[in-house]
Structure 1
Amino acid sequence: MGRGDLTGAEWARLRPFLPVSNGRCGRWRDHRQVIDGILHRVRTGVQWRDLPERFGPWKTVYERHRLWSADGTWERLLQQVQAEADAVGEIDWDISVDSTVVRAHQHAAGARTDPPPAPASEGAAKAEHQDETPGQSLRGRLVEVVLEKIQVPRLGPGRPREKPDSLAEDKAYSNGPVRDYLRRRGVRHTIPEKTDSQAACLRKGSGGGRPPAFSEERYKKRNTVERAINKLKHARAVATRYDKRGYVFLGTATAAALVIWLRT
């Protein structure tokens, strides 16, 4: 077994949730071998054509990753691992949201321009969900996109969990649309008020309303999202975008997050 390959225990956790047939020509080539090849590329950033021979034909490995990025297989695998963690109380539902910039390699050119992922993290500095939003998009829209995608299934009966206990963000997210959206969702939030907003309230006097509640203690936990981003960028194929298509790059980032959840 090579460095970075799935261990026997990790493989046993993923195997029950993997597709059995490719729907076109019978059974898949050995999933474990192919997944190890995908994870090797995610970790090292090597070109697909330069994958070591022990992972099988490079095109098979690439096509499996491309398909699973498109059909949601990577996301479903991550959700199942998260469901196991949630069932034993290992998910901290006080989450934080932030965005990050990923530089695109020249090999990523030639396809539709797509932005980097924006992770939401839970308290153990593990990415809970990631999504892509345009680099120039409003921060409020980013929050909505990320929170609407959070979905952790139950191992038993019951609806998937979709709402965090609380949310912490920095001043860049301190605006009316973000706060209104979180109130509608019933999500408690800790966002520092911008200086100009505080000054505006003071100028209005009693008619300016009360400043939003703010918990210094809760805000200290916001560093988990920076640590989650740092862990994701340990994977070279996440730190630098080599994938031309946005959905494939998001699959790469999700596969990296899956490894973190399996090994933390």
Structure 2
Amino acid sequence: MRWMLGAAVAALCFAAPGAALAQEAALLERGRYLVEVTGACGNCHTPMGPQGPLPGRHLAGGTVFDEQPFRAVAPNITPDPETGIGRWTDAQIATAIREGKRPDGSIIGPPMPMAFYRGLADRDLAAMVAYLRTVPPVRNAVEKSVYRIPLPPSYGPPVASVAMPAEDPVARGAYLAGPVAHCLECHTPMLPNGHSDMTRLGAGGMVFRGPWGETVGRNITPHALRDWTDAEIERAIRTGVSRDGSRLRPPMAFWAYQHMSPRDMGDLIAYLRSMPAQQ
């Protein structure tokens, strides 16, 4: 982890001044895109009101997820030194995102999708950390999460290194649906222990409660999408309009996904088409 972040910094330090600035700008732009668009981190970490995100509270935490296994409260991930992550090192932020472990050694529980985030590529993880450093700090202390299930001592051995996906539409789409946008987290049934049922990826069924009422994650495998065109799938993801013209509801982050690049959207749809059908 430290090697990965150090390598990113070293690449900037040894580049020519103009090239270093261009690399830094590219890293920050990639981080912005991951955090604000495909990752839609604000969907959980920005407190919401009846009309959407609360003004001046971007990524400041406080959203409550009250389910049978837990009462989880999204933390403040702005650089505020007192209530956010301002005093964390880059490596500590990266470890929290990809391995679910805070600087004090405590484990981050669901609904943080650790089963998927462990697959974040080194370059993308470094970009996310760099971008989070630039977010305006917001002072907002949030209550601690309460878990009615035991949390594991870890989510696996430390992640040494993860490469970017192969330049193949399905491989890139799988990376988007899993580690980046974690579509499979919300569209996969939840087990009693609060984690995703990895044997039923994409089958839907998870219940979400919020200011919008109660919604159920839909089946996004070919079993449900076989009659949908690519254009209809894209419209649903970007705008929240279903195949029959009805409106889809939160917590699907249409506000973020509407800005997804055409290539990423095409790759994501290619992957959804390739998934095993689940009923």
Query: Which structure dedicates a bigger proportion of its chain to helix?
Result: 1
Structure number with higher relative contact order (C-alpha < 8 Å, ≥ 6 residues apart): 1
Question: TM-score if structure 1 supplies the norm length?
Answer: 0.29
